[in-house]
Amino acid sequence: MSIEETQTSRPLTGIRILDLSRALSGPFCTMTLGDLGATVIKVEPSENGDMTRLWGPFSGGQSVYYLSANRSKQSLSLDFRHADAMPLLRRLALDSDVVIENFKPGVAEAMGLGVDVLRQLNPRLIYASISGFGSEGPARDAPGFDQIAQGHGGLMALTGAETPTRVGVAIADMTAGLWTALGIVAALRQAEATGVGERVETSLLASMVSMLGVQGQRYLSVGDVPKRTGNANPVIAPYGTFETADGPINLAPATEAMWHSLCHELDLDALCDDPDYATNVDRVRHRDRLHRVLEERMRQRPRAEWVRRFVNAGIPAGVINDVRQVFEDAQVQHCQLVRHAHHPVIGQVPHMAIPIRMASVDVQQPACAPPLLGEHTQAVLRSYGFGPEEIADLIARGVVTQHTAA
């Protein structure tokens, strides 16, 4: 089945996105929009393609990193240094609904691909940008990398126990990509109503600050600078990770009723009458001592037994899975959170499905596997109205490259 056939009737079918982004934030955004039906044209440098194609580990010669963020797209291979490359991109932008880039601020303008130039050519264009720290301000020109943003945006100061700790995935990149996707969808709706395009912008820093949630609000509202609490909840106790006879579990008795049920299940009913634990505020104040008392009892039985007992009693509890255990989990498999798409080199490639289900259309099935470099160059140019002779000339002069099967 072709990519066009798999995208038919998805929510964003008919929306064409010219994707000039690379690495993760932009590609994660456009992969999401591609899953939802948009036609995503990923423009890649002819020599090596997106930089992540060179990052290991590899499966069948293909970068796993690239595979993780580039399904549901078509690849056009372009020599960005060729004199005709920028005029070609401007021509493509003329007939696109969205352009997305994540260059450092000012680079797109220097290339002749800035928002003012492209929206003058196409007033309905949605122009989306992702940067490290924003297009204005004292840190405007600072390099934007995920861990730098996690630290600068406060997330690392809240994560871990003894020392600031980065989250185990590139959370700044991925959340920036999701915010951008949401902004693009909103701008498309606005353009539908007004006939005028929009500039959509976010940064890794802005994404991290927005994700501080209640911890950020604590400072803004009462001047409280939250500290790291490891796996404990900063404002609820008991709540967090507890050791059992054969490994840790997560436990989240967030209400008074759950607290009383927990004491009953652990045969520690006397704790309910202890004034040190009378209210949540009291339990937070004495959290370390309470944690030791509860954990001493939990270490007497295996984690599966405790989780079963707690869940049956209406107390939120769960095991802590490694990645292998996640994908072997019965609930994960039942919800079909892994889907497959055919790759021309590897064959069937498993992908983590977009975590959205819709009643009338299966958006979780990838529109296509991540493309080979330049796999769709000719097809993309034809879809933009380029004729056979013009395409052949562009290939002959090295402006674009079409992947050919080995």
Output the CA–CA distances (angstroms, integers) from residue 209 to 190, 204, 217, 366, in the order listed.
26, 9, 11, 31
- Say yes or no to pLDDT of 258 above 80: yes
Give per-residue pLDDT as tens, 175-200: 999 999 999 999 999 999 999 999 99
Looking at residue 163, the DSSP 8-state letter turns out to be: S
Structure tokens at 224: 């409280």
Q: Which residues of 174-210 are buried (b: 16+ CB within 10 A; e: fewer)?
A: bbbbbbbbebbbebbeebeeeeebbebbbbbbbbbee
| Residue ranges of the chain assigned to CATH 3.30.1540.10 | 240-326
Tell me which residue has tokens 């959170």.
337
Quick check: is 173 catalytic?
yes
Measured distance CA(277)–CA(130) in Å, rounded: 47
User: For 240-326, which CATH superfamily applies?
Assistant: formyl-coa transferase, domain 3 (3.30.1540.10)
Q: Which DSSP string corresponds to 87-122?
A: HHHHHHHHT-SEEEE-PPTTHHHHTT--HHHHHHH-
Q: What is the pLDDT of residues 52-68, one digit of tens each?
A: 999 999 999 999 999 99
Q: Into which CATH architecture does domain 3-211+355-401 fall?
A: 3-Layer(aba) Sandwich (3.40)
Could you say which of 173, 274, 276, 288 is catalytic? 173
Position 40 pLDDT exceeds 70: yes
What residues does CATH 3.40.50.10540 cover in the chain?
3-211+355-401
Residue 63 CA to residue 57 CA, distance in Å, equals 6
Question: Would you state the structure tokens that stand for residue 51, as one six-digit string?
Answer: 């930089």
**Rounded CA separation 202/132 (Å):** 9
Q: How confident is the model at residue 5 (pLDDT cuts 50, 70, 90)?
A: low
pLDDT at 4 over 60: no
Contact 245, 305 (CB under 8 A): no
Q: Full-prediction pTM beyond 0.95?
A: no
Q: What is the mean pLDDT of residues 14-39?
A: 98
Mention every residue, 6+ apart, whose C-beta is less than 8 A from residue 135. 105, 129, 201
